[in-house]
Structure 1
Amino acid sequence: MERGTTLFLKVAVFLIGITVLALCVFLLPWLANYTAEMYPEFAYLQYPILIGLYITAIPFFIALYQALKLLNYIDNNNAFSELSVKALKYIKYCAVTISILYVIGIIFLISQNASQPGIAVIGFTIIFTSAVIAVFTAVLQKLLKNALDIKSENDLTV
């Protein structure tokens, strides 16, 4: 594989990480304060929601780091290795964790009678996207594991 392709993907992963970090540091606190001023009846939810969003950022950044490691394995011609399978496993776990945390968050908002349709749509979109990523990485992980098993069998027969 050409290095330009993986370089492009590394830059994209890096830019996504920087964007989400900037959102977490600058935009989310401002948005939480602005929303609390606009809707004072829901101001008590400001910090639990921020904490929940910051907690979901942790597996997101772990998954981005694993994606960078996977791209490095591809660059080093180690794409078909146990390390790649392990990186895909961690990405899958992170995606499942994000989905679960958002389900818990939506249930919390509904229990507080604070779920707005726009927020619910965003939450369900994130849940669906994370679930798709989890399934996709699980399939890739299984295919890669099968390829490694076949390679191992061929190495033993020769």
Structure 2
Amino acid sequence: MKKGTTIFLKIAVIIIGIIVLTLCVFWLPSLASNTAEQFPAFRHLQYPILVGLYSTAIPFYFALYQAIKILNYIEIHHAFSKASVISLRYIKYCAVVISILYVIGALYLMSQHAFHPGVALIAFTIIFASIVVSVFAAVLQQLLSSALAIKTENDLTV
């Protein structure tokens, strides 16, 4: 893969991280306070929801870091390495954790009778996207493990 392609992908990953960070720092708190003012019956949910959303940012950023590590491995021609397999495993686990946290949040909002259809649509979209990322990372991890085993076997054959 050309170096320009990996640089483009790194920039894309960094831009995604900056956008999510900006939303977490500026948009979410103001949205939470505005929603609490508009719906005083649900004011007690403002901080638990913010904590839940911020807790999903931790595995998200860890997965972005692992993606950048994989791009670095590609740049230095170590894409077929155990380190790449480990990074893919971490990405898979991060996606699963994000899905679980959103399911827990959805169940919590349902129990509080605060699960608005718009919120449900966003939550289920994020859950579905995280599951897709998890399955895709698992498939890539298995494929890379198989390729690594074949490469190791070929290296031993002289």
Tell me the residue number matched to 1:127: 127
Percent identity (aligned)? 66
Q: Match for 1:59: what amino acid?
A: P
The amino acid of 2:98's aligned partner reads I
Q: Which amino acid aligns with 1:143?
A: L
Q: In the aligned structure 2, how far is the partner of 1:3 from the partner of 1:156? A: 30
CA distance in 2, matches of 1:34, 1:74: 45
The one-character-per-residue Cα deviations of 1:121-142 (angstroms, maximum 9, x if unpaired) are: 0000000000000000000000
Amino acid at match of 1:155: D
Name the counterpart of 1:79: 79
Instruction: For 1:67 and 1:157, locate their aligned partners in 2 and report how far apart those are by CA, in whole Å.
Output: 32
2:133 is aligned with what amino acid? Answer: I
Q: Determine the structure 2 residue equivalent to 1:136.
A: 136
CA RMSD of aligned residues (A): 0.5
Q: How many pairs does the alignment contain?
A: 158
Uncovered stretches (5+) of structure 1, i.e. residues with no partner: none
Q: Structure 1 length as normaliser, TM-score?
A: 0.99
Q: 2-side partners of 1:3 and 1:157: how far apart?
A: 31
* Deviation readout 1:39-78 (Å, 9 max, x if unpaired): 0000000000000000000000000000000001001101
Give me the TM-score of the superposition, normalised by structure 2. Answer: 0.99
**Counterpart of 1:138 in structure 2: which amino acid?**
A
Cα offset, 1:151, TM superposition? 0.9
Letter in 2 for 1:3: K
CA–CA separation in structure 2 for the residues paired with 1:74 and 1:120 = 38
2:112 partner amino acid:
Q
The whole-number CA distance in structure 1 between the counterparts of 2:6 and 2:156 is 32
One-letter amino acid of the structure 2 residue matched with residue 146 of structure 1: S
Equivalent residue of 1:80, what SS?
Answer: coil
Give 5+ residue unaligned stretches, structure 2. Answer: none
Runs of 4+ residues deviating >2 angstroms: none
